[in-house]
Structure 1
Amino acid sequence: MKLASRVSLIKPSPTLVITAKAAALRAEGRDIVDFGAGEPDFYTPEHIKAAAIQAVESNFTRYTAVGGIDELKDAIIRKLQKDNHLSYRRSEIVVSCGAKHTLFNLAQVLFEEGDEVVIPGPYWVSYPDLVLYTGAQPVIVNTREQDGFKLTPEGLERAITERTRALIINSPSNPTGSAYTREELAALAEVVLRHSMMIISDDIYEKILFDGLDFWNIAAVAPALKDRTIVVNGVSKAYAMTGWRIGYAAGPEAVIAAMGKIQSQSTSNPASISQKAAVEALTGDQQVISEMVKEFQRRRDYIVSVLNSFNGVSCLKPQGAFYVFPNVSTLYGLSCGDRKINDSGAMAEYLLEEAEVAVVPGAAFGDDRYIRISYATSMELIEKGLERIGNALMRLK
């Protein structure tokens, strides 16, 4: 059977592949510790679930407006004003089936063949593929661990050409957990202002910041860029609502309208019940976030400390999200029996098969020297998984 050529431009999400493989091994009876999943292990808060139940009981189960109900748009508008000091109208908001869906629609609207999109690396696995699917080209700017895995103004300037259409900023970052300060964003904004390009600000981990660090969005830091910035966010990470599939974008009316047009011919509206739950998430009790972040920070401190105690491993302390990105490249070239570790893929396979711990190869994020470990799981499993990793690494000779 002949498939459309555009399918060959993209690959399955590596993180989902790892999660599926771990689940398959678990189904075979193996005791797999899964550090691959990028979703909170907490349950959706009760008041949010209650809002969804109320939506069902009141028969709010029909189609809604394609781009989301006004009640949810208004909740998003209030959230962006209160948290981010950004003002929008309903016509500048679109709600989609998760932030990934939002980003897909946005790429379809903005990019085409001949365009270039600047993506700092390490990057979330889907960014390059979302760009490639449109016929545009991702331009990866590799960042350095000594710079906190953050894009510098000099690095951005070197990457920009006459074909540059946009820059993608993800802060806090998946996979590194790095987060930009107000001053760092201001420096990047100075570069962007000298060029004709858009900014996609992926703020999905906005609420998961540690050590009292404040979140900043580049459009708030540099108001002159607001008309060239599309803010992408959702309720998945902050409210433990990954399965509810609600993401949203805020930006120029023409871009938002075009995204709505794309959505009208693909999914139509996000689930009506999920939209009601999202309203409650954004307007209800926010204390649940503080409690979750406090626990994530406790896990982060523990996992970074233990990883840095392993011979041959170094791990930068992340500022947000719920991932660590340890450098394991000094172990490349070592072996355990017939199994030789030459790259991050071989390391991830070794840890899964020999230690029964699932991690994601750093190559999937654009840097083969690292592996990604999610600590969105219980402390009990973190302790068990790290012990297994440590024992497996000691067997390498």
Structure 2
Amino acid sequence: MTARALVLSALAGGESRVVRPLRANDTMRMAAGLTALGARVDTTDDEVWTVTPGRLRGPATIDVGQAGTVMRFGTPLAALAEGTVTVDGDPQARRRPLRPIVDTLRALGVDLDASGTGGLPLTVRGTGHVEGGEAVIDASGSSQFVSGLLLVAPRFEKGLVLRHEGPPVPSAPHLRMTTHMVRAAGGVVDESVPDVWAVEPGELRGREWVIEPDLSGAAPFFAAALVTGGSVTLRGFPAESWQPVERLAELVGQLGGAVVSGSEGLTVRGTGSLHGIDADLSEVGELTPVLAALAALADSPSRLRGVAHIRSHETDRVAALATELGKAGAGVTEHHDGLDITPGPLRAVAWATYDDHRMAHAAAVLGLAVEGISLDDVGCTAKTLPEFPELWADVVNARS
């Protein structure tokens, strides 16, 4: 939500305020990318960031690090700049798919060079405007392919009619968040036809964005309540949210816990008993590593499916989870789109995180119940939650 708010604010007709933003590696890279393009993003105050739009221009460089959002939101944004913009990132980012956005921008008349795989590093030679029009995309690899284009489409001269052709688009709640936020900024988006998004050209408004607490970031803490039979509250979570709260509640209920929304926030309560689940996680793929750890601690086997797209995240999460859970003693069968997990006697293991924050979260959850789990790198959690080690220590100490 912070990343989307920053992009929309940089394209608006006036100043915006981003209240309670997520300060993490990914969002700071987004802010730095916007600054490089000509916007002013003041991040000195932890509670409120101020974004002042400016004329987008090159030469400029956007360093995405490992951030898929910066890569997939920043590339269409660079197409609106006047001049040359280079987009590049870490070796992991160079392996992540980007071709659907590259091909769509080319079809809309944008002049750009990409790597042989259609991804990073790439160079966009912008003219200060994009004509827009109609385009077809296969967004089955990531909802961010669509989101990145929709966020900037109001600034296209003819707007954009984008049609998805291919297997279902994953992470639908994230895509709904995008369309809601474009409308909140004054954009007009019609998504009444399945797999078609029609965005009218027009000016976006500067406004105040109040950022919700992140369900994906809270997932390991909610899992701690389920493992220990305790209770964890995510404070400040709104009564109405664009995030997949209902799906989270369904999954927690199947696992043996409960989700309660109240005046203090969103609370997950556990019973100390964990049950295996058979779940399609296509809408909530980011939860897969934590849910896999819970499945390894459950009282019956689990099937986690619908997540082929997470093979192209920071690492191949399906393969990585199969490897690490297998090392710890769980029975794991890897499928192209998920995992079968059979709990077994678990043992101490040196858990490899693959420089992936979600893999570190999974190890932390497993370590609540298995003595001697160690992580090779907890620093990777700074990607989206730099305070994770301290927050996790607080939870463990509260439990003891």
Q: TM-score under structure 1 normalisation?
A: 0.29
The structure with more strand, counted as a fraction of residues: 2
Normalised TM-score (structure 2)? 0.29
